[in-house]
Structure 1
Amino acid sequence: MSLRRPPLPALRPFVELVWASELPPPVRPVPRRERVLPTGALHPVFRLGETPLRLFRDLDDAVGEAVGCALVGGARASPYLKDLSRPEPSVGALLRPGAAAALLGVPAAPLSHTHTPLGLLWGEAAVEDLRGRLAEAPTAAARLALFERLLLARLAPRRGLDPLVAEALTGLHRLRPVARVAREAGVSQRHLARVFGEAVGLTPRTWGRMLRFGRTLERLSADPALPLADLAAAEGFADQAHLTREFRDLAGLTPGAYRRAAPRESRHVPI
């Protein structure tokens, strides 16, 4: 069971959603994996048992790598493969673009495309203390409320979003080309890419691709029978072939393979 919701109002400029999961009923462990599709955002996660998160390089990797129990998943534009065979109660958050400095104490760029132990950012002793306190909470709802208080305590609002980055995000959400976004902000594309990439973890062009990919996933999840040619036209792809290439590049599989997998959650594809 998973509980997901918007955060407390004080966190909403920095956090899009928070979530907590319960341990499923005991069953015989069966090796399972999933392909986690990128959001382009950062997400801090605490696993509250003793089993660390295990990731795999590719489908042929039978062993994988244990990467820890308290992590920050960095901004990325590619999927990763995750072990599901030994689930643990967890709690986490999806950060808004540019919020890394305020909540994690570092910009997004050094955390991109990888999973970073939270202990490297907040200190090992502090992270283990937080993990212990979260594990003692009796329910997912109680853990979520405690997690929000912990995030508020860590928040440094003076390290807010750079106005240039905020303006660029608004323009990209309005589907404006990067060249126009830079021109309207009065800066060069190179300068915009440097400042935006440091704060968000991806370039403006890649972030724009992630926005369109997210809209595409939402449409495909809401209407799995939607013809791909219609989907491509609705989301501004040149044609169906362009949609397929972009989907394969960002998701690691074709739209057809995504449909056949029939994921319960749009970005968590069972393997």
Structure 2
Amino acid sequence: MSLRRPHPALRPYVEAVWASAAPGQSVAPREHVLPCTGMHLAIRLDGPLRLYRDAGDLRGETVADAVVAGARAGFYVKDTTQPSRSVGVILRPGATQALFGCDADELSSSHTPLDALWGPAAGRLHEALLDCDDESHQLELMQRALFARLRPARAMHPAIAQAMQGLGQREPVASLAQASGLSHRHLLARFRAATGLAPKAYARVLRFRHALRLLARGQPLADIAIDAGYSDQAHFNREFRELSGMTPQAYRRAPVRGEAHVAMVNFLQDAGTAPT
């Protein structure tokens, strides 16, 4: 994979741009993609994205070749039977107004086809990327497309950046609202507009992702529960199952790519869900 910092003018909105060759044959027909607080734009070059509601969904839904994935507080299930080359962008909070003309909460917990946001320009970018085999040139094409869509946008309120940092340090939302000088209602509205998630959901996902890192280190589940800020192991197990669609033990058994992409080798059994 080629990963690059964007042009300086894009950096307030874009964390990184990337291009990747098609991965090898997947070890499983599906993978669980776990919750994250970030947003990204991805363009697949060898076939559209196909998603499933859960392990019991045997039909799925084809979305698009180019999508914007919003922040989410739950997992989704992705088809991995057809590996694809792809080019993408990791977006920063507050980027959606500048690049797509909408708030982040309008895109949260969903995969929005890029042509619904950019119109015919999305198809032209897809065609240009298909005609190019050089990853470095693909990254340039992506950045040019971003520049073409970039519009002046209201700067993120400083209180939102402070709240994001405070939530990472497990500060209560009420305390953050009080320190921000905003009302609780206004803090929630501005936070959702910038990140796509309410502050409590954002903190919940941060805690879950911290638990994933502790799981990767092999710590006992009871220790992870305490270290990550859960009340006890039972609370941790419930939260993990709800956010990931599997148990912590199943996560440890499964092949994991990049912490958040979990190959479901026996997805019906691992998820504990009977087909419908």
The answer, yes or no, to whether TM exceeds 0.5 is: yes
SS at match of 2:43: strand
1:228 equivalent among 221, 239, 242 = 221
Structural mapping, 1:39-78, within 5 Å: 39-49=36-46, 51-78=47-74
Question: What letter matches 2:3 in structure 1?
Answer: R
Measured at CA, do residues 38 and 6 of structure 1 come closer, stay the same or move farther in structure 2, by a change above 3 Å?
Answer: farther
Q: Is the 8 A contact 1:41 1:97 kept in 2?
A: yes
The residue number in structure 2 matching 1:253 is 246
The residue number in structure 1 matching 2:34 is 37
Question: What letter matches 2:116 in structure 1?
Answer: L
Structural mapping, 1:49-128, within 5 Å: 49=46, 51-123=47-119, 125-128=120-123
Q: Is the 8 A contact 1:34 1:84 kept in 2?
A: yes
SS at match of 2:257: coil
Per-residue deviation, 1:130: 0.8
Measured at CA, do residues 35 and 101 of structure 1 come closer, stay the same or move farther in structure 2, by a change above 3 Å?
Answer: same
The residue number in structure 2 matching 1:131 is 126
Q: TM-score, normalised by structure 2?
A: 0.87
1:152 equivalent among 144, 147, 151 = 147
SS at match of 2:71: coil
Measured at CA, do residues 31 and 243 of structure 1 come closer, stay the same or move farther in structure 2, by a change above 3 Å?
Answer: closer
Q: How many residues align?
A: 264
The residue number in structure 2 matching 1:21 is 20
Structural mapping, 1:184-199, within 5 Å: 184-199=179-194
Q: Tell me the distance in 1 between the aligned counterparts of 2:238 and 2:10.
A: 37
Deviations for 1:56-101, whole angstroms, at most 9, x for unmatched residues?
A: 1221222211111111112211111111111221111221222211
Per-residue deviation, 1:188: 2.4
Deviations for 1:208-243, whole angstroms, at most 9, x for unmatched residues?
A: 11112222222322x1x2111222222222222222
Question: What letter matches 1:10 in structure 2?
Answer: A
Gaps in structure 1 of 5+ consecutive residues: none
> What is the identity percentage for the equivalent residue pairs of Structure 1 and Structure 2?
48
Q: TM-score, normalised by structure 1?
A: 0.89
Q: Tell me the distance in 1 between the aligned counterparts of 2:122 and 2:234.
A: 46
Per-residue deviation, 1:24: 4.2
Gaps in structure 2 of 5+ consecutive residues: 265-276
The residue number in structure 1 matching 2:230 is 237
Q: For structure 1, which segment, 252-261 or 172-181, has the greater mean C-alpha deviation from structure 2 after superposition?
A: 172-181
Q: Tell me the distance in 1 between the aligned counterparts of 2:40 and 2:96.
A: 9
Deviations for 1:161-218, whole angstroms, at most 9, x for unmatched residues?
A: 2333223223223321101100001222222112211222110111111112222222
Q: Tell me the distance in 1 between the aligned counterparts of 2:122 and 2:135.
A: 19
Deviations for 1:92-120, whole angstroms, at most 9, x for unmatched residues?
A: 12212222111222111111111111111
Q: Tell me the distance in 2 between the aligned counterparts of 1:241 and 1:7.
A: 43
Deviations for 1:135-169, whole angstroms, at most 9, x for unmatched residues?
A: 22222233123323322332235433233322322
Measured at CA, do residues 45 and 261 of structure 1 come closer, stay the same or move farther in structure 2, by a change above 3 Å?
Answer: same
Q: Is the 8 A contact 1:37 1:268 kept in 2?
A: yes
